[in-house]
Amino acid sequence: MNYNPVGWFEIPVNDIDRAKNFYEKLLGITLKRQDVPDYKMVWFPMNDGAKGASGALMQGTGYDVNSRGVVIYFTCPDMDGALERAKGMGSTIVLNKKDIGEWGYISWLTDSEGNTIGLHKVK
């Protein structure tokens, strides 16, 4: 296999605008709103040919917020700053910045909707 197996992700949300604002502030990025029939959708930036996968925030039938589901990790060069911003937006830090050896650092936090997400920083 000459590719990373994750090609796309979708994060369930209850309030698409609140979630869009949370992720834009947390990661310092701009997200694009594009609703489709019966669903509200906000896209994370996508850069064809770059490492990693992109995805979307999704609101609609079948997208249930859950803190016990899959944990998606966002690459985060400024993890300390992101954790401070998260706290300022009311997030709970589930796992403080943790050294995982040669692979860098990880942390878990709750997003604006109650999902648990991960941050990853390389050394």
**Burial state string for 11-23 with b = 16 or more CB within 10 A and e = fewer than 16:** bbbeebeebbebb
Q: Is residue 3 part of a domain?
A: no
Burial group, residue 102, by CB count within 10 angstroms (0-12, 13-18, 19+): exposed
User: By C-alpha distance, which of 34, 39, 68, 37 is closest to 54?
Assistant: 34
Q: Is residue 51 part of a domain?
A: yes
Domains in the chain: how many in total? 1
CA 71 and chain centroid, separation: 9
* Structure confidence by residue, pLDDT tens digits, 34-55: 988 899 999 999 988 888 889 9
Q: Is residue 97 part of a domain?
A: yes
Q: Residue 73 is part of a domain; what is its CATH number?
A: 3.10.180.10
Determine how β-strand 8-12 pairs with β-strand 54-59.
Answer: parallel
Q: Is 65 helix (H, G, I), strand (E, B) or coil?
A: coil
Q: Is residue 2 part of a domain?
A: no
Q: Is residue 56 part of a domain?
A: yes
**Percent of the chain surpassing pLDDT 70:** 98
Q: Is residue 1 part of a domain?
A: no
Q: What is the pTM of this model?
A: 0.86
* Structure confidence by residue, pLDDT tens digits, 56-70: 999 999 899 988 888
